[in-house]
Amino acid sequence: MTVESTAARTTRRSAGTTGGTAGKRTTAKSTAAKKPAAAKKSPSGEPELVQLLTPEGKRVKSAAYDKYVTGITPEDLRGLYRDMVLTRRFDAEATSLQRQGELGLWASLLGQEAAQIGSGRATREDDYVFPTYREHGVAWCRGVDPTNLLGMFRGVNNGGWDPNSNNFHLYTIVIGSQTLHATGYAMGVAKDGADSAVIAYFGDGASSQGDVAESFTFSAVYNAPVVFFCQNNQWAISEPTERQTRVPLYQRAQGYGFPGVRVDGNDVLACLAVTRWALERARGGEGPTLVEAYTYRMGAHTTSDDPSKYRADEEREAWEAKDPILRLRRYLEASNHADEGFFAELEAESEALGKRVREAVRAMPDPDHFAIFENVYADGHALVDEERAQFAAYQASFADGEGA
Amino acid sequence: MAVEKMALAKAINESLRRALETDPKVLVMGEDVGKLGGVFRVTDGLQKDFGESRVIDTPLAESGIVGTAIGLALRGYRPVVEIQFDGFVFPAYDQIVTQLAKMHARSLGKVKLPVVVRIPYGGGIGAVEHHSESPEALFAHVSGLKVVSPSNAGDAYWMMQQAIQSDDPVIFFEPKRRYWDKAEVNTEAIPGPLHKARVVREGTDLTLVAYGPMVKLCQEVADAAAEEGRSLEILDLRSVSPLDFDSIQASVEKTRRLVVVHEAPVFFGSGAEIAARITERCFYHLEAPVLRVGGYHAPYPPARLEEEYLPGLDRVLDAVDRSLAY
Ligand SMILES: Cc1ncc(C[n+]2csc(CCOP(=O)(O)OP(=O)(O)O)c2C)c(N)n1
């Protein structure tokens, strides 16, 4: 897959605050052609999307979205940078822990830090987040201790955190399911007359699932305060986005009757602004929004995956030039918003986080054998009690055997 | 050479290759089955050799995969679809249960749906949740479906041929933890019927019945029991629906004792059906109640507990002891 074809996958522009709902475009016919429509490129050859920071770290103006980041201070910017750096460090640590056999599997977010930190920092404490399985950066923003995310990847639990303590739901492995949960939750928020919002994360591959289509239908019909945040990282394991869709994903929203916007997913500021806008719409009773964060999965799908089977190295290299962390660093440096001392301190903090994660994982105890029978039912169940007792007797029989 | 040693995954690959070669109506469909060759590489190289119109990378949508396979079958094709892991078949469960299974009957036999649904299943590979389940009973309970599971490469090769040739929908459960186990595959053999159980090992004291991933375990059990002077007979069912009760009956009439082993939860599992029928058929031959060894009535546990959850050597030997103690 060349750089050209990556850019070529992206076609239409997002149109300001109403994104893909404008309906003026004459795309319907061209996309109905027999072959996937040859994607139109913008004059620059790059996908057109909401962007506030260029890959070179230059601040660009956006009439529609600047107002969502006007109050942002240099300290806030350094905070976003810190979030991204620490999240990347955590992720790198988890990847190496997997290689050392400490984790059974890891789904890396490398390259998606801006999409996650930008959107995650846009949420309010009383908002509710429904992640898939790669939202380590969003979890960070929600105050979930990153070591809590590792239990399921180590194989000691199937989730392991209380979703209600940070309004951050459990990871969902079955693709797309959580978008319906988010929609239902949002329907509940609206019924309660609360003014919080809900955000659901999913991938470009997930957009093909029936559950996702149904969540669009329900959220539109009930005007649910939910933001669908699709991280289009270009791949669903080995399948490129064009294996899932013939129109840019954000345009899907139009058919359901709510706005869709494509944002530069490697631009943390733009992700923050667009998500704030979408969450405010939700809070204001204006219903759902689809945000497509156009980004890139720099690593393998998971540590079990071998991307060399299906994609060229040049593609990753082209995206490395758009690295979200590098981009903000350039901006911070050029605008004198951060000095050497800040970066050095952060490096030290990052080292400390790495160490903490390593130690926490190694210290994580294996679960008690009886955990198999715990929490199967809230009210209990006679069969589970019986099987637990049989299991106990069986375990005890070994102890006797050893003693004898 | 017609006889070759190969891994179970490779045997299925070779079998699919043969089917694609011999019948232009055969299609292979699923997520990542093309360039990647599937997450377990079962379809490795097939798209390269047969092209994108025969080996089809589908959108990430299981209901879509099975639903369109039904349509293709209505049009005369013979789709072999891959569901990436056991736990992900459920988005397609509606299509399988309400459509794939029933259309032949609803059309008064006019419509045939020769669709094979391949599902890598079972645990023992240290995966995260939804990657280790054994949902075969959920499918066997549904009339109109055939449910099979090979335990070794040779059977996998031939059972896949037979499943593709069957005019009925076949749910083909592949024991993922045995994918890398090698065995002899005779590509020129004349295979027995798809639903016939196979006596893996003759014995006189007790019959062990298993299928898929548990057959190998039962062989280890029989070896261990032999050291204690016990002679166990092992039956590899190969098919869960239909079930070869005649073969089980014949064996039980000889050994008078039966232990059924599967990974799926015991409660309402395939072992329950076997126990009930064999009790009916062999009431006066049995020296002990039919015993079952399998999973608990609990969600498949995280990887670090799966050895406790899955039937292992000791648990099966324990059941053997209990049966022999009657
Ligand atoms: C229902 C279901 N089908 C298949 C899978 C296996 N699977 C896990 S991740 C994945 C690709 C997901 O791609 P995408 O939605 O784009 O998200 P990404 O992982 O790229 O963030 C697949 C096919 C699954 N987890 N659930």
**Residue A257 in contact with residue A141, Cβ under 8 Å?**
no
Task: Look at residues A297, A274, A1, A251 and name the one whose alpha carbon lies nearest to residue A118.
Answer: A274
User: Which tens digits make up the pLDDT trace of B119-134?
Assistant: 999 999 999 999 999 9
Cβ separation of B59 and A394 shorter than 8 Å? no
Select which of B104, B130, B131, B297 is catalytic: B131
Contact B31 A394 (CB under 8 A): no
**How far is residue B189's CA from residue B2's CA, in Å, rounded to a whole number?**
8
C-alpha to C-alpha distance for B161 and B154, rounded to whole angstroms: 11
Contact criterion met (CB < 8 Å) for B31 and A304: no
Q: Please, what's the largest Cα pairwise distance for chain A?
A: 83
- Residue A2: both structure tokens together: 């060349």
Do β-strands B182-186 and B3-7 pair in parallel, antiparallel, or remain unpaired? antiparallel
pLDDT by 10s per residue, chain A, length 404: 333 333 333 333 333 333 333 333 333 333 333 444 434 444 444 447 999 999 999 999 999 999 999 999 999 999 999 999 999 999 999 999 999 999 999 999 999 999 999 999 999 999 999 999 999 999 999 999 999 999 999 999 999 899 999 999 999 999 999 999 999 999 999 999 999 999 999 999 999 999 999 999 999 999 999 999 999 999 999 999 999 999 999 999 999 999 999 999 999 999 999 999 999 999 999 999 999 999 999 999 999 999 999 999 999 999 999 999 999 999 999 999 999 999 999 999 999 999 999 999 999 999 999 999 999 999 999 999 999 999 999 999 888 655 44
Residue B39 to residue B36: CA distance in whole angstroms: 7
Q: Counting every residue, how long is chain B?
A: 326
Which ipTM was obtained for this model?
Answer: 0.95
**What Rg value do the Cα atoms of chain B yield, rounded?**
19
Residue located via tokens 């270009």 = A234
Q: Reply yes or no on whether the pLDDT at B263 is more than 70.
A: yes
Please give the backbone phi and psi of residue B88, each rounded to the nearest 5 degrees, phi first: -100, 10
Tokens (6 digits) for A298: 């720099």
Rounded Cα distance, A328 and A332, in Å: 6
Q: How far is the CA of A205 from the centre of ligand 1 (A)?
A: 6
Taking the C-alpha atoms of residue A366 and residue A105, their distance in angstroms, rounded to an integer, is 16
Look at residue A400 in the predicted model and tell me its pLDDT: 67
Chain B residues closer than 8 Å to A156 by CB? 302, 304
Distance separating alpha carbons of residues B204 and A87, to the nearest angstrom: 62
Predicted confidence at residue B1, as pLDDT, reads 60
pLDDT digits (tens, 9 = 90+) for B284-320: 999 999 999 999 999 999 999 999 999 999 999 999 9
Residue of A121, A297, A327, A331 marked catalytic: A297
Q: Which two tokens stand for residue B12?
A: 């299925």
Helix, strand or coil, per DSSP, at residue B141:
coil
What six digits make up the tokens of B61? 């949508």
Integer CA distances (angstroms), A169 to A164, A275, B248, B279, in order: 7, 19, 48, 48
A90 burial via Cβ count (<10 Å: 0-12, 13-18, 19+): buried
- Min distance A249 CA to chain B CA atoms (Å): 14
- What is the greatest pairwise CA distance in chain B? 60
Length of chain A as a residue count: 404
Window 56-95 of B: residues touching A by CB (8 A cutoff) are 57-61, 63-64, 87-88, 90-91
Q: What is the pLDDT of residue A48?
A: 76
Q: Tell me, what amino acid is at A67?
A: K
Q: What is the DSSP string of A72-116?
A: --HHHHHHHHHHHHHHHHHHHHHHHHHHTTSSS-----TT-HHHH
Report the alpha-carbon distance of residue A261 to residue A119 in Å, rounded: 13
Report the pLDDT value the prediction gives residue A398, as an integer from 0 to 100.
Answer: 85
In B112-269, alpha helices (H): 136-140, 153-165, 214-227, 245-255
d(CA A183, CA A185): 5
CA distance A292 to B24: 40
Residues 189-248 of A with CB under 8 A from B: 205-206, 208-211, 236-239, 243-244
Specify whether the CB–CB gap between A78 and A329 falls below 8 A.
no
Specify whether the CB–CB gap between A376 and A116 falls below 8 A: no
The CATH superfamily of A53-83+107-323 is Thiamin diphosphate (ThDP)-binding fold, Pyr/PP domains (3.40.50.970)
Q: With pLDDT > 90 as the criterion, what percentage of chain B qualifies?
A: 99
For chain B, the average pLDDT equals 98
Considering only CB atoms, A376 lies closest to which of B35, B64, B297, namely: B297
Phi-psi region of B286 (alpha: psi -120 to 50; beta: other; left: phi over 0): beta
- A338 touches A74 (CB < 8 A): yes
**Cβ pairs A/B, distance under 8 A:** 118
Q: Is B130 a catalytic residue?
A: no
Distances (CA, A) of A25 to A337, A347, B125, B142: 41, 48, 50, 48
What's the pLDDT at A402?
54
Phi, psi of A59 (to 5 degrees): -80, 125
Q: What is the DSSP letter of A304?
A: T
| Residue with token string 């955590």 | A90
Residue nearest to atom 13 of ligand 1 (CA): A236
Higher-confidence position of B78 and A12? B78
Q: How far is B268 from chain A (nearest CA, A)?
A: 12
Is A301 one of the annotated active-site residues of the chain?
yes
